[in-house]
Structure 1
Protein backbone atom coordinates (compact mmCIF):
# COMPACT_ATOMS: atom_id res chain seq x y z
CA UNK A 1 0.00 0.00 0.00
CA UNK A 2 1.23 3.49 -0.88
CA UNK A 3 0.00 6.54 0.99
CA UNK A 4 0.25 10.31 0.77
CA UNK A 5 -1.32 12.96 3.00
CA UNK A 6 -2.15 16.38 1.58
CA UNK A 7 -3.49 19.50 3.27
CA UNK A 8 -6.11 21.24 1.16
CA UNK A 9 -6.36 24.86 2.33
CA UNK A 10 -9.39 25.70 0.18
CA UNK A 11 -11.53 24.50 -2.72
CA UNK A 12 -8.94 25.72 -5.21
CA UNK A 13 -6.38 23.40 -3.64
CA UNK A 14 -8.90 20.54 -3.87
CA UNK A 15 -9.21 21.29 -7.59
CA UNK A 16 -5.40 21.25 -7.83
CA UNK A 17 -5.37 17.77 -6.31
CA UNK A 18 -7.87 16.59 -8.92
CA UNK A 19 -5.74 18.21 -11.64
CA UNK A 20 -2.62 16.44 -10.32
CA UNK A 21 -4.38 13.08 -10.09
CA UNK A 22 -6.20 13.10 -13.44
CA UNK A 23 -3.11 12.56 -15.65
CA UNK A 24 -2.17 9.56 -13.50
CA UNK A 25 -5.51 7.83 -14.06
CA UNK A 26 -6.27 5.33 -16.78
CA UNK A 27 -9.24 3.33 -17.95
CA UNK A 28 -10.06 0.61 -15.43
CA UNK A 29 -9.04 2.61 -12.36
CA UNK A 30 -11.28 2.50 -9.30
CA UNK A 31 -11.35 5.38 -6.81
CA UNK A 32 -13.19 4.94 -3.53
CA UNK A 33 -14.04 8.30 -1.91
CA UNK A 34 -14.69 8.42 1.80
CA UNK A 35 -15.64 11.31 4.07
CA UNK A 36 -18.54 12.62 6.08
CA UNK A 37 -21.38 14.73 4.75
CA UNK A 38 -19.96 17.92 3.28
CA UNK A 39 -16.40 16.57 3.18
CA UNK A 40 -16.04 17.50 -0.49
CA UNK A 41 -16.44 14.15 -2.25
CA UNK A 42 -18.70 15.45 -5.01
CA UNK A 43 -16.73 18.71 -5.31
CA UNK A 44 -13.55 16.66 -5.81
CA UNK A 45 -15.27 14.46 -8.39
CA UNK A 46 -16.51 17.53 -10.28
CA UNK A 47 -12.94 18.84 -10.54
CA UNK A 48 -11.66 15.41 -11.52
CA UNK A 49 -14.27 15.22 -14.31
CA UNK A 50 -13.10 18.57 -15.70
CA UNK A 51 -9.50 17.34 -15.82
CA UNK A 52 -10.48 13.97 -17.30
CA UNK A 53 -12.37 15.90 -20.01
CA UNK A 54 -15.67 14.07 -19.77
CA UNK A 55 -19.09 15.20 -20.93
CA UNK A 56 -22.05 16.12 -18.77
CA UNK A 57 -22.48 17.98 -15.54
CA UNK A 58 -21.24 16.06 -12.52
CA UNK A 59 -23.62 16.24 -9.58
CA UNK A 60 -24.25 14.02 -6.62
CA UNK A 61 -25.73 10.78 -7.98
CA UNK A 62 -27.53 10.11 -4.68
CA UNK A 63 -30.95 9.36 -6.13
CA UNK A 64 -29.88 7.63 -9.32
CA UNK A 65 -26.93 5.84 -7.65
CA UNK A 66 -24.69 5.80 -10.76
CA UNK A 67 -24.15 8.24 -13.58
CA UNK A 68 -21.95 7.72 -16.64
CA UNK A 69 -20.00 10.57 -18.23
CA UNK A 70 -18.59 9.67 -21.66
CA UNK A 71 -15.21 11.04 -22.70
CA UNK A 72 -15.17 14.30 -24.64
CA UNK A 73 -11.79 13.40 -26.14
CA UNK A 74 -9.41 10.48 -26.27
CA UNK A 75 -9.26 9.71 -22.53
CA UNK A 76 -11.44 7.41 -20.46
CA UNK A 77 -14.98 8.17 -19.45
CA UNK A 78 -16.11 8.51 -15.85
CA UNK A 79 -18.68 6.53 -13.91
CA UNK A 80 -19.72 8.36 -10.73
CA UNK A 81 -21.42 6.18 -8.11
CA UNK A 82 -22.99 7.07 -4.77
CA UNK A 83 -23.07 3.96 -2.59
CA UNK A 84 -24.61 5.72 0.43
CA UNK A 85 -27.97 3.97 0.08
CA UNK A 86 -26.53 0.58 -0.85
CA UNK A 87 -26.67 -1.99 1.92
CA UNK A 88 -23.91 -4.30 0.76
CA UNK A 89 -21.57 -5.34 -2.04
CA UNK A 90 -24.34 -7.45 -3.62
CA UNK A 91 -26.39 -4.32 -4.32
CA UNK A 92 -23.34 -2.69 -5.87
CA UNK A 93 -22.81 -5.82 -7.96
CA UNK A 94 -26.41 -5.52 -9.20
CA UNK A 95 -25.41 -2.24 -10.89
CA UNK A 96 -23.16 -4.30 -13.20
CA UNK A 97 -20.40 -1.69 -13.03
CA UNK A 98 -17.70 -4.21 -13.86
CA UNK A 99 -19.08 -4.74 -17.38
CA UNK A 100 -17.62 -1.41 -18.56
CA UNK A 101 -15.10 -0.80 -15.79
CA UNK A 102 -12.10 -1.48 -18.04
CA UNK A 103 -13.16 1.46 -20.28
CA UNK A 104 -13.72 4.14 -17.62
CA UNK A 105 -12.46 5.60 -14.37
CA UNK A 106 -14.96 4.63 -11.68
CA UNK A 107 -15.41 6.91 -8.66
CA UNK A 108 -17.51 5.51 -5.81
CA UNK A 109 -18.57 7.90 -3.06
CA UNK A 110 -19.34 6.22 0.27
CA UNK A 111 -17.75 3.09 -1.18
CA UNK A 112 -15.55 1.94 1.72
CA UNK A 113 -16.47 -1.59 2.73
CA UNK A 114 -18.56 -2.06 -0.40
CA UNK A 115 -16.64 -1.15 -3.56
CA UNK A 116 -13.33 -2.89 -2.87
CA UNK A 117 -14.77 -6.02 -4.47
CA UNK A 118 -14.76 -4.25 -7.85
CA UNK A 119 -10.94 -4.26 -8.04
CA UNK A 120 -8.05 -5.34 -5.83
CA UNK A 121 -5.99 -2.56 -7.43
CA UNK A 122 -7.67 0.69 -6.40
CA UNK A 123 -7.20 4.12 -4.84
CA UNK A 124 -8.92 5.14 -1.63
CA UNK A 125 -9.22 8.86 -0.95
CA UNK A 126 -10.41 10.01 2.46
CA UNK A 127 -11.45 13.66 2.78
CA UNK A 128 -11.94 15.18 6.22
CA UNK A 129 -12.65 18.67 7.47
CA UNK A 130 -10.43 19.56 10.44
CA UNK A 131 -12.46 20.31 13.58
CA UNK A 132 -10.92 23.78 13.78
CA UNK A 133 -11.75 24.66 10.16
CA UNK A 134 -14.50 27.07 9.18
CA UNK A 135 -17.04 24.91 7.28
CA UNK A 136 -17.19 27.52 4.49
CA UNK A 137 -13.41 27.73 4.05
CA UNK A 138 -13.12 24.58 1.99
CA UNK A 139 -10.19 23.47 4.15
CA UNK A 140 -9.79 19.70 4.07
CA UNK A 141 -7.24 17.01 4.66
CA UNK A 142 -6.84 14.32 2.01
CA UNK A 143 -5.34 10.89 2.53
CA UNK A 144 -4.69 8.94 -0.66
CA UNK A 145 -3.97 5.23 -0.25
CA UNK A 146 -3.13 3.15 -3.27
CA UNK A 147 -3.70 -0.60 -3.20
CA UNK A 148 -1.77 -2.46 -5.89
CA UNK A 149 1.69 -2.08 -7.39
CA UNK A 150 0.74 0.61 -9.89
CA UNK A 151 -0.10 3.25 -7.30
CA UNK A 152 3.30 3.93 -5.68
CA UNK A 153 4.79 5.71 -8.72
CA UNK A 154 1.51 7.43 -9.58
CA UNK A 155 1.04 8.78 -6.06
CA UNK A 156 4.66 9.94 -6.00
CA UNK A 157 3.91 12.02 -9.12
CA UNK A 158 0.75 13.43 -7.50
CA UNK A 159 2.72 14.39 -4.39
CA UNK A 160 5.39 16.09 -6.51
CA UNK A 161 2.74 18.03 -8.46
CA UNK A 162 1.14 19.24 -5.21
CA UNK A 163 4.33 20.88 -3.86
Structure 2
Protein backbone atom coordinates (compact mmCIF):
# COMPACT_ATOMS: atom_id res chain seq x y z
CA UNK A 1 0.00 0.00 0.00
CA UNK A 2 1.23 3.51 -0.87
CA UNK A 3 1.46 6.01 1.98
CA UNK A 4 -0.44 9.08 0.70
CA UNK A 5 1.13 11.59 3.07
CA UNK A 6 4.32 11.79 0.96
CA UNK A 7 6.68 9.74 -1.13
CA UNK A 8 8.87 9.52 -4.19
CA UNK A 9 9.28 6.73 -6.69
CA UNK A 10 11.18 6.33 -9.94
CA UNK A 11 9.00 4.70 -12.58
CA UNK A 12 11.03 3.36 -15.51
CA UNK A 13 8.09 3.24 -17.95
CA UNK A 14 4.61 4.55 -18.68
CA UNK A 15 3.23 1.20 -17.48
CA UNK A 16 4.98 1.49 -14.11
CA UNK A 17 3.74 5.07 -13.83
CA UNK A 18 0.20 3.81 -14.31
CA UNK A 19 0.75 1.03 -11.74
CA UNK A 20 1.85 3.57 -9.12
CA UNK A 21 -1.10 5.81 -9.98
CA UNK A 22 -3.49 2.84 -9.77
CA UNK A 23 -2.24 2.08 -6.24
CA UNK A 24 -2.79 5.73 -5.27
CA UNK A 25 -6.18 5.87 -7.00
CA UNK A 26 -7.42 2.82 -5.10
CA UNK A 27 -7.03 4.83 -1.88
CA UNK A 28 -8.84 7.98 -3.04
CA UNK A 29 -12.41 8.79 -2.10
CA UNK A 30 -15.06 11.38 -2.89
CA UNK A 31 -13.89 14.83 -1.91
CA UNK A 32 -10.24 14.23 -2.74
CA UNK A 33 -8.45 16.74 -4.97
CA UNK A 34 -5.30 15.71 -6.82
CA UNK A 35 -3.12 18.35 -8.48
CA UNK A 36 -0.71 17.11 -11.13
CA UNK A 37 2.41 19.22 -11.67
CA UNK A 38 4.87 18.72 -14.51
CA UNK A 39 5.83 20.18 -17.88
CA UNK A 40 4.14 19.38 -21.16
CA UNK A 41 4.70 15.71 -21.97
CA UNK A 42 5.66 14.74 -18.42
CA UNK A 43 2.97 12.07 -18.20
CA UNK A 44 0.09 13.77 -16.38
CA UNK A 45 -2.57 12.09 -18.52
CA UNK A 46 -0.71 8.76 -18.32
CA UNK A 47 -0.77 9.09 -14.54
CA UNK A 48 -4.49 9.92 -14.60
CA UNK A 49 -5.16 6.77 -16.63
CA UNK A 50 -3.69 4.75 -13.76
CA UNK A 51 -5.70 6.70 -11.18
CA UNK A 52 -8.83 5.90 -13.18
CA UNK A 53 -8.06 2.18 -13.01
CA UNK A 54 -7.56 2.45 -9.26
CA UNK A 55 -10.86 4.30 -8.90
CA UNK A 56 -12.59 1.77 -11.19
CA UNK A 57 -14.30 4.29 -13.43
CA UNK A 58 -15.76 3.95 -16.90
CA UNK A 59 -14.48 5.32 -20.17
CA UNK A 60 -11.17 5.93 -21.84
CA UNK A 61 -9.10 8.61 -20.11
CA UNK A 62 -7.64 11.11 -22.54
CA UNK A 63 -6.33 14.62 -22.14
CA UNK A 64 -9.11 17.06 -21.25
CA UNK A 65 -7.37 19.86 -23.20
CA UNK A 66 -10.17 20.60 -25.65
CA UNK A 67 -13.05 19.96 -23.26
CA UNK A 68 -11.54 21.50 -20.10
CA UNK A 69 -13.08 18.74 -17.94
CA UNK A 70 -14.09 15.13 -18.49
CA UNK A 71 -16.24 13.04 -16.16
CA UNK A 72 -15.73 9.31 -15.73
CA UNK A 73 -18.48 7.59 -13.77
CA UNK A 74 -17.78 4.68 -11.42
CA UNK A 75 -18.29 1.08 -12.43
CA UNK A 76 -19.45 0.22 -8.91
CA UNK A 77 -20.23 2.43 -5.92
CA UNK A 78 -17.08 4.55 -5.98
CA UNK A 79 -16.70 8.24 -6.75
CA UNK A 80 -16.83 9.85 -10.17
CA UNK A 81 -13.49 10.98 -11.58
CA UNK A 82 -13.45 14.55 -12.86
CA UNK A 83 -10.31 15.14 -14.96
CA UNK A 84 -9.64 18.85 -15.45
CA UNK A 85 -7.22 20.84 -17.60
CA UNK A 86 -6.85 23.87 -15.33
CA UNK A 87 -4.47 25.54 -17.77
CA UNK A 88 -7.39 26.28 -20.09
CA UNK A 89 -9.35 27.82 -17.23
CA UNK A 90 -6.48 30.15 -16.32
CA UNK A 91 -5.76 30.93 -19.98
CA UNK A 92 -9.24 32.43 -20.33
CA UNK A 93 -8.26 35.08 -17.78
CA UNK A 94 -11.14 34.27 -15.44
CA UNK A 95 -10.96 34.61 -11.70
CA UNK A 96 -10.00 31.10 -10.46
CA UNK A 97 -13.01 30.79 -8.13
CA UNK A 98 -15.41 31.91 -10.89
CA UNK A 99 -13.85 29.38 -13.26
CA UNK A 100 -14.25 26.56 -10.73
CA UNK A 101 -17.84 27.57 -10.04
CA UNK A 102 -18.60 27.64 -13.77
CA UNK A 103 -17.60 23.96 -13.95
CA UNK A 104 -19.67 23.22 -10.82
CA UNK A 105 -16.65 21.43 -9.34
CA UNK A 106 -17.31 22.75 -5.87
CA UNK A 107 -20.71 21.05 -5.62
CA UNK A 108 -19.52 17.94 -7.50
CA UNK A 109 -16.73 17.37 -5.01
CA UNK A 110 -19.06 15.58 -2.58
CA UNK A 111 -19.40 12.75 -5.11
CA UNK A 112 -16.13 12.92 -7.03
CA UNK A 113 -12.37 12.85 -7.05
CA UNK A 114 -11.06 15.86 -8.96
CA UNK A 115 -7.74 15.42 -10.78
CA UNK A 116 -6.35 18.61 -12.27
CA UNK A 117 -3.53 18.90 -14.75
CA UNK A 118 -1.85 22.31 -14.46
CA UNK A 119 -3.92 22.92 -11.33
CA UNK A 120 -1.33 24.54 -9.05
CA UNK A 121 -2.34 27.94 -7.73
CA UNK A 122 -6.01 27.33 -8.41
CA UNK A 123 -7.34 23.92 -7.47
CA UNK A 124 -6.11 24.20 -3.89
CA UNK A 125 -9.15 26.39 -3.34
CA UNK A 126 -11.48 23.42 -3.84
CA UNK A 127 -10.59 21.57 -0.67
CA UNK A 128 -8.81 22.07 2.62
CA UNK A 129 -6.65 19.03 1.89
CA UNK A 130 -5.23 18.00 -1.47
CA UNK A 131 -2.56 15.74 -2.91
CA UNK A 132 0.08 17.35 -5.08
CA UNK A 133 1.82 14.97 -7.47
CA UNK A 134 4.92 16.17 -9.28
CA UNK A 135 6.08 14.28 -12.36
CA UNK A 136 9.70 14.79 -13.44
CA UNK A 137 10.84 13.31 -16.75
CA UNK A 138 13.71 15.76 -17.22
CA UNK A 139 16.15 14.32 -14.67
CA UNK A 140 16.17 10.79 -16.13
CA UNK A 141 16.26 12.10 -19.74
CA UNK A 142 19.30 14.25 -18.96
CA UNK A 143 21.14 11.17 -17.72
CA UNK A 144 19.92 8.95 -20.56
CA UNK A 145 18.12 10.56 -23.55
CA UNK A 146 16.49 7.19 -24.34
CA UNK A 147 14.99 6.88 -20.87
CA UNK A 148 11.23 6.83 -20.38
CA UNK A 149 11.65 7.07 -16.60
CA UNK A 150 9.72 9.52 -14.49
CA UNK A 151 10.47 10.53 -10.94
CA UNK A 152 7.11 10.91 -9.24
CA UNK A 153 6.75 12.67 -5.90
CA UNK A 154 3.55 13.14 -3.98
CA UNK A 155 2.58 15.01 -0.87
CA UNK A 156 -0.68 15.61 0.95
CA UNK A 157 -1.00 19.31 1.73
CA UNK A 158 -3.38 21.56 3.61
CA UNK A 159 -4.97 24.36 1.58
Contact 2:25 2:50 in 1 (8 A): no
Partner-residue secondary structure (3-state), 2:26:
helix
Query: Which of 64, 85, 107 matches 2:115?
Result: 107
Tell me the residue number matched to 1:128. 136
Tell me the residue number matched to 1:153. none
Partner-residue secondary structure (3-state), 2:84:
strand
State the shift of 1:8 in Å.
Answer: 1.3
Assess, with a 3 A threshold, how the Cα gap between structure 1 residues 4 and 115 changes in structure 2: closer, same or farther: same
Deviations 1:43-65 (A, max 9, x none): 11012112211111111011110
1:85 aligned to 2:95?
Answer: no
Contact 1:128 1:140 in 2 (8 A): yes
1:20 aligned to 2:23?
Answer: yes
Tell me the residue number matched to 2:152. 142
State the shift of 1:85 in Å.
Answer: 1.6
Contact 2:22 2:52 in 1 (8 A): no
Cα distance in structure 2, aligned partners of 1:117 and 1:96: 13
Kindly report structure 1 stretches of 4+ aligned residues shifted beyond 4 Å.
none
Assess, with a 3 A threshold, how the Cα gap between structure 1 residues 6 and 103 changes in structure 2: closer, same or farther: same
Cα distance in structure 2, aligned partners of 1:69 and 1:3: 26
Deviations 1:87-141 (A, max 9, x none): 2413233211011111111101100001100011110001011344256643111
Contact 1:54 1:72 in 2 (8 A): yes
**Aligned-residue CA RMSD (Å):** 1.8
Cα distance in structure 2, aligned partners of 1:142 and 1:47: 13
Gap regions ≥5 residues in structure 2: none
Worse overlay, 138-147 or 30-39? 138-147
1:6 aligned to 2:9?
Answer: yes
Cα distance in structure 1, aligned partners of 2:111 and 2:146: 36
Gap regions ≥5 residues in structure 1: 149-163
Contact 2:131 2:155 in 1 (8 A): yes
